[in-house]
Structure 1
Amino acid sequence: MNSENSEDSNEIGQTRDITILIVEDDSPLLEFFSTILRREGYKVLKAQNGVEALEIAKSRPDERIDILLSDVAMPYMGGVQLAVNLLEIQPHIQVLLTSAMPFQEISNQCGTKFHPAFLAKPFSVSNLTAKIKTIVESTSIYLGPHARGYPGRS
């Protein structure tokens, strides 16, 4: 076994306990993101709009969702309102919003409620995985199942 394979195994081991809720109204894009992030070793939950995503989160009160990856403009409930609602249920959640809109517009929508990470559409797979990795490494999510004070983790 070479060191490159060993390093890959290590990274996947560190992502195994991280759950990402992907919310995207474009079905092929939702499936694509899901496939990519599962291959990276993350647990993935999927929804096609904010209302559906909120129901998923509410139906799993004892399960931690670590990262919300959401489009901003969607029917029924957009990504900003979804993030506000999810942060009330799981205040630790890290928010990554995607949009073709300029970040300043999205930042204005968020106000002082929360400060999301952002990816401008269109973006590459490598940009997506790098942004997720940065979020993971810069927060207590990186501690995995040993992080204290989170649902499902003592």
Structure 2
Amino acid sequence: MIRRHTISILVNNQPGVLQRVSGLFGRRGFNIESITVGESEETGLSRMVIVTQGDDKNLEQISKQLYKLIDVIKVVDLSSNPMVSRELALIKVNAEPTMRPEILSVIETFRASVVDIGPASLIVQVVGDPEKIDAMVELLTPYGIRELSRTGVTAMIRGSVR
């Protein structure tokens, strides 16, 4: 059964690692829906969080292939555990002064925030799961979205044990 997987990959913080990891997904025919990379809790190591779709057997193969890459330290399928996942989006929306109260009520409903105000636009920051971001985009679309930038999903397993 094909389903969405969120995979955490701990890697050495070296040039070219991102290219090798993403290339492996491409060669295997997997689309990367989202990828985030940043420093981890350990000096010299970075954590990649990749969201992709596939069945469990294919994911197992990808995991085995990842471990063959010299800079890969650990691979965890976060989606097989209770996890916390978040994404951030910045949305620049048309907002003439007469429309702002209506737009601000949408923003407030989503517990989002205005991070910039221009003469005819607002930049909204929203944090949450991808479905929340999608819903916010859908509600702001009628006002005219000028620009949209999303970070991609980052995630961790819930609780204190890994």
Query: Is TM > 0.5 for Structure 1 vs Structure 2?
Result: no
TM-score (norm. length: structure 2): 0.25
Which structure exhibits the higher relative contact order, with contacts defined as CA atoms closer than 8 Å and separated by 6 or more residues?
2
Identify, as 1 or 2, the structure richer in strand.
Answer: 2
TM-score (norm. length: structure 1): 0.26
Larger Rg computed on CA atoms: 2
Identify, as 1 or 2, the structure richer in helix.
Answer: 1
